Amino acid sequence: MSNDLESYDDVAQWDLNLPDGKHCVRFQHGTTSGRRVILVDGKEVRNTGWQFKLVGKESFLIGKYKACVIIEANGLNYTYILEVDGKSLKRFVENRKKVCRTWIPRVGGNPHRVVLERDSLNVWLDGQKLDAMGEFTENGTETHFMIDTQPAVIRAVTSGKRREGIIYSLFIGDTQVPDAMEEAS
């Protein structure tokens, strides 16, 4: 916080799920000074200080993704929009839902988060990208990795239906893990 008279409360906050974990973006805007502060997961990633122009764009990174807060004036009020990878947050989230599969298995009593990026076939475990080993099988592909000391595999098989495409399933040992219900991966 600054020592001057203007307060810098959060004017916008967005929560999103990415393969490397859940992130919270907070935006502070001094509507008198134009000052703009962006915090990602509580860490300040951008602080412009005094600005003559009260509207505009502020760019930053959320992990590997380029993001931007757009500040627009509507009379005496301001609108704040978050874009990620050049898309509105809503469109970005919808695209991530199509591209990623997420599971939240419990191993040894502890919850873990497994994300498969279908476009790159990258596998993430608890926010860390894994060096997972894939192999072709008679029915499709299998990607092998470990969760704690337990062997895990993501199986990809064709649905046999053109509109459904490929079905991805996570198994720990012989037990299939249900899909997680997240807003976006």
CATH code assigned at 113: 2.40.128.180
pTM, two decimal places: 0.76
Q: What is the pLDDT along the chain (185 residues), one digit of tens a residue?
A: 444 445 567 899 999 988 888 999 999 998 788 889 999 999 999 999 887 788 899 999 998 899 999 999 988 899 999 999 999 999 999 988 888 999 999 998 999 999 999 888 899 999 999 988 789 998 889 999 999 999 999 999 988 887 778 899 999 999 999 988 754 44
Strands (E), 52-165: 56-62, 65-74, 77-84, 87-88, 100-103, 106-107, 110-111, 114-117, 122-125, 128-129, 133-136, 140-147, 150-158
- Domain total for the chain? 2
User: Do 173 and 104 belong to one domain?
Assistant: yes
The whole domain housing 55 covers 10-85
